[in-house]
């Protein structure tokens, strides 16, 4: 394997990595693709039946229509089924469960090290495209008790919270969605967030009236202006600033605690490759006209470009053009897909 030089190595098989793979295959290029997990891994940890906020035509890839039986927005299950179908249709070969752990430039070639279960492997490619996403790990809040077994950064199946006291931490979409789903699954939900109001602009618009109704009526007790101090096996300890500016300590009973505080990018590979990362969100530097980084032949595609996004601006729907730009710049080919051009994400 070490002697073979591929035209391209694609790291990551999320929606954009797969869309790129279809373009490479259509162009007859000799490429190899890896994913640390299964294809579409990022969607696999969403709670069952979570719906995309994007319309189906905006998250469809490679010109293959994404259809749902009720014409509604796809759930993660429908989208994962769709991704498998795309892989089968184009017979894409993906080395899954094979993380890329090393990447270095040697003259005009790249050497990649991967770690499948069977050991270590080495690969060579003329171009490398990192499609590794930006939501690899939960954003920790670093309080005592965060690692207790009843505390999680992932919602999981709401069924497990039936008739349990669930404290949800966070004021954006994932917190609100978790609060509503647990409430509807029969949990006794409360929610704590740092600001005076929930971040309505960052919540799926159809969830906002319901969460407002439930918190205003007290059916979901809401602790605005609150900060978690510590978590014990039975309580969440909060500091709450009242509307009069008084500081109070509160201990809220909780059987389960869901820390819906967002996700961060694992940028170890980007750093290892020698990429420059910028600002507090550690966005990798690249040329948006070509998607090439500061290293010749090393490209970025998909949400990798956003670093750790505090306010999500880079989504599947505004990354499709990365594929065409890379095909043009790196390979002087076209992605050959007829698609609707989307400038702004729909929210």
Ligand X SMILES: Cc1cc2nc3c(=O)[nH]c(=O)nc-3n(C[C@H](O)[C@H](O)[C@H](O)COP(=O)(O)OP(=O)(O)OC[C@H]3O[C@@H](n4cnc5c(N)ncnc54)[C@H](O)[C@@H]3O)c2cc1C
Q: Which two tokens stand for residue 321?
A: 């053009």
Helix H or strand E encompassing 30: none
**Looking at residue 246, what DSSP letter applies?**
-
Q: Which of 78, 174, 190, 308 binds ligand X (CB under 6 A)?
A: 174
Taking the complex as a whole, the smallest distance from the CB of residue 90 to ligand X amounts, in Å, to 16
Taking the complex as a whole, the smallest distance from the CB of residue 244 to ligand X amounts, in Å, to 36
34 binds ligand X (CB under 6 A): yes
Site residues (CB under 6 A) for ligand X, limited to 39-78: 41-42, 46, 50, 52-54, 59
Q: Which stretch binds ligand X (CB under 6 A): 10-18, 141-149, 206-214, 233-241?
A: 10-18
Cβ-based neighbour number of residue 318 at 10 Å: 17
170 binds ligand X (CB under 6 A): no
Q: Which two tokens stand for residue 326?
A: 């890379």
Taking the complex as a whole, the smallest distance from the CB of residue 117 to ligand X amounts, in Å, to 14
CB 166 within 8 A of CB 255: yes
Q: Which of 15, 158, 171, 284 binds ligand X (CB under 6 A)?
A: 15
Taking the complex as a whole, the smallest distance from the CB of residue 248 to ligand X amounts, in Å, to 32
Please say which residue, 67 or 148, places its beta carbon nearer to ligand X: 67
270 binds ligand X (CB under 6 A): no
Q: Tell me the CA end-to-end span of the chain in Å, nearest whole number.
A: 45
Q: Which two tokens stand for residue 80?
A: 């994962």
CA distance 260 to 193: 10
CB 330 within 8 A of CB 56: no
Taking the complex as a whole, the smallest distance from the CB of residue 307 to ligand X amounts, in Å, to 12
Q: Which stretch binds ligand X (CB under 6 A): 14-22, 141-149, 219-227, 331-339?
A: 14-22
Which string of DSSP letters, residue by residue, matches 108-171? TEEEEEE--TT--EEEEEEEEEE---S--EE-----TTTTSTTEESS---GGGGTTSEEEEE-S
135 binds ligand X (CB under 6 A): yes
13 binds ligand X (CB under 6 A): yes
Q: Which stretch binds ligand X (CB under 6 A): 28-36, 82-90, 207-215, 242-250?
A: 28-36
Q: Which of 37, 121, 212, 250 binds ligand X (CB under 6 A)?
A: 37
Handedness of CA 130, 284, 344, 194 (dihedral sign): positive
The candidate with the shortest Cα–Cα distance to 212, out of 242, 191, 233, 238, is 191
Taking the complex as a whole, the smallest distance from the CB of residue 299 to ligand X amounts, in Å, to 13
CB 259 within 8 A of CB 153: yes
Site residues (CB under 6 A) for ligand X, limited to 100-129: 100
302 binds ligand X (CB under 6 A): yes
Please say which residue, 36 or 264, places its beta carbon nearer to ligand X: 36
252 binds ligand X (CB under 6 A): no
CB 160 within 8 A of CB 175: no
Q: Which residues contribute to the site for ligand X (CB under 6 A)?
A: 11-17, 34-37, 41-42, 46, 50, 52-54, 59, 99-100, 131-133, 135, 174, 269, 302-303, 315-317, 319
């Amino acid at each position: 394997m070490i002697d073979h030089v591929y035209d391209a190595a694609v790291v990551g098989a999320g929606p954009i990595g797969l869309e790129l793979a279809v373009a490479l295959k259509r162009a007859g290029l000799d490429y190899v693709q890896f994913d640390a997990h299964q294809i579409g891994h990022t969607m696999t940890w969403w709670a069952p039946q979570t719906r995309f906020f994007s319309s189906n035509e905006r998250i469809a890839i490679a010109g293959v229509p994404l259809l749902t039986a009720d014409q509604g927005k796809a759930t993660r299950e429908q989208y994962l089924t769709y991704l498998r179908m795309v892989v089968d249709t184009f017979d894409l070969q993906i080395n899954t469960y094979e993380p890329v752990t090393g990447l270095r430039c040697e003259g005009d070639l790249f050497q990649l090290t991967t770690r499948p279960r069977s050991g270590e492997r080495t690969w060579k490619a003329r171009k490398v495209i990192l499609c590794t996403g930006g939501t690899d790990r939960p954003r920790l809040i670093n309080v005592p008790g965060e690692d207790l077994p009843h505390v999680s950064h992932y919602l999981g199946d709401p069924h497990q919270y039936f008739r349990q006291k669930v404290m949800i931490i966070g004021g954006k979409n994932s917190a609100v969605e978790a609060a509503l789903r647990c409430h509807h699954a029969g949990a006794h939900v409360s929610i704590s967030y740092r600001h005076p109001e929930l971040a309505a602009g960052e919540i799926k618009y159809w969830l906002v009236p319901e969460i407002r109704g439930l918190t205003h009526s007290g059916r979901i007790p809401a602790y605005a202006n609150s900060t978690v101090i510590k978590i014990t096996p039975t309580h969440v300890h909060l500091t709450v600033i009242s509307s009069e500016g008084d500081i109070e300590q509160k201990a809220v009973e909780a059987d389960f605690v869901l820390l819906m505080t967002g996700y961060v990018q694992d940028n170890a590979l980007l750093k290892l490759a020698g990429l420059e990362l910028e600002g507090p969100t550690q966005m990798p530097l690249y040329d948006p006209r070509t998607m090439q980084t500061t290293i010749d032949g090393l490209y970025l595609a998909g949400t990798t470009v956003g670093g750790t996004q505090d306010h999500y601006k880079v989504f599947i729907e505004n990354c499709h053009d990365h594929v065409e730009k890379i095909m043009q710049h790196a390979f002087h080919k076209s992605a050959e897909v007829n698609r609707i051009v989307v400038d702004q994400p729909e929210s």
